[in-house]
């Protein structure tokens, strides 16, 4: 290695050690692509077989330039989804379905544009908000809201009012989104 590359390599190892990341040096590791520069890596599972690599990648500072773009440093990786899921299963990892605070349904598809700014505002407040993007019927939208476990469903009506449905409460009609 040149002096600069050696310094870089020592710095990478030092960061791994500082963060408590166990690693094994493999001077024969070749990712199979000649655009990598300096660092390449693989995340390998505990089983020793052809499918033990879960993720691999590296640094590729000259790639954008090689295809006609400006000099741009970069790093990337690829992961095998099936291998990743198997590794998570072996570790006993579980994932909870995302929680949805509020689901916005539309009596008519044309009403969506009117509510998108409000949906964005609710999200900016930290609320988990979802809506239908597939053009489902009202019944389909309500089924989707139920599937997502939405605590509150707001139905935008064509007359400019909103029906608010909260779990365990009686439905009510409001005239302003501030009342939701």
Q: Which of 91, 121, 155 is the last residue of a domain?
A: 91
Inter-residue contact 105 to 129 (CB < 8 Å): no
Looking at the fold, whether 65 and 114 belong to one and the same domain comes out as no
Model pLDDT for residues 134-151, shown as the tens digit of each residue: 889 999 999 999 999 999
- Please enumerate in sequence order all residues whose Cβ is within 8 A of that of 148, keeping only pairs 6 or more positions apart, or say none: 97, 98, 100, 103, 130
Give the pLDDT confidence of 103-124 residue by residue, as tens digits. Answer: 999 998 888 888 888 899 999 9
* 97 found inside a domain: no
Q: What local confidence, expressed as pLDDT, does residue 126 receive? A: 92
Q: Binning pLDDT at 50, 70 and 90, where does residue 50 land?
A: low
Domain count, the chain: 2
* Pair (151, 79) in one structural domain: no
Domain CATH number, residue 134: 3.40.50.800
Residues 71-84 pLDDT 10s: 888 888 988 888 88
Which residues have CB under 8 Å from 135's CB, separation 6+? 109
Residue 86 in any domain: the answer is yes
Same-domain check for residues 85 and 17: yes
pLDDT at residue number 117: 87
Q: Which residues contact 51 (CB under 8 A, 6 or more apart)?
A: 80, 83
CA 16 to CA 9: how far, in whole Å? Answer: 11
**Domain span holding position 14:** 3-91
pLDDT at 32 over 70: no
Angle at 66 between CA 62 and CA 67, to 5 degrees: 130
- Position 46 pLDDT exceeds 70: yes
pTM here is: 0.51
Q: Are residues 7 and 86 in the same domain?
A: yes
Q: What is the pLDDT of residue 98?
A: 75
């Amino acid at each position: 290695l040149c002096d600069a590359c050696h310094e870089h390599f020592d710095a990478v190892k030092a960061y791994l050690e500082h963060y408590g990341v166990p690693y094994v040096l493999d001077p024969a590791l070749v990712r199979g692509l000649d655009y990598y520069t300096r660092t390449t890596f693989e995340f390998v599972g505990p089983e020793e077989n052809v499918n033990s690599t879960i993720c691999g990648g590296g640094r590729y500072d000259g790639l954008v330039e090689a295809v006609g773009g400006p000099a741009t440093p970069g790093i990337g990786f690829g992961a095998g989804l099936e291998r990743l899921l198997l590794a998570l299963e072996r570790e006993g990892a579980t994932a909870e379905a995302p929680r949805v605070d509020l689901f916005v349904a539309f009596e008519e598809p044309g009403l969506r544009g009117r509510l998108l700014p409000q949906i964005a505002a609710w999200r900016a407040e930290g609320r988990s908000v979802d809506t239908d993007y597939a053009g489902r019927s009202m019944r389909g939208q309500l089924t989707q809201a139920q599937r997502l476990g939405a605590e509150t469903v707001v139905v935008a009506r064509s007359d400019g009012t909103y029906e608010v449905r909260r779990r365990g409460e009686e439905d009510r009609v409001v005239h302003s989104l501030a009342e939701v």
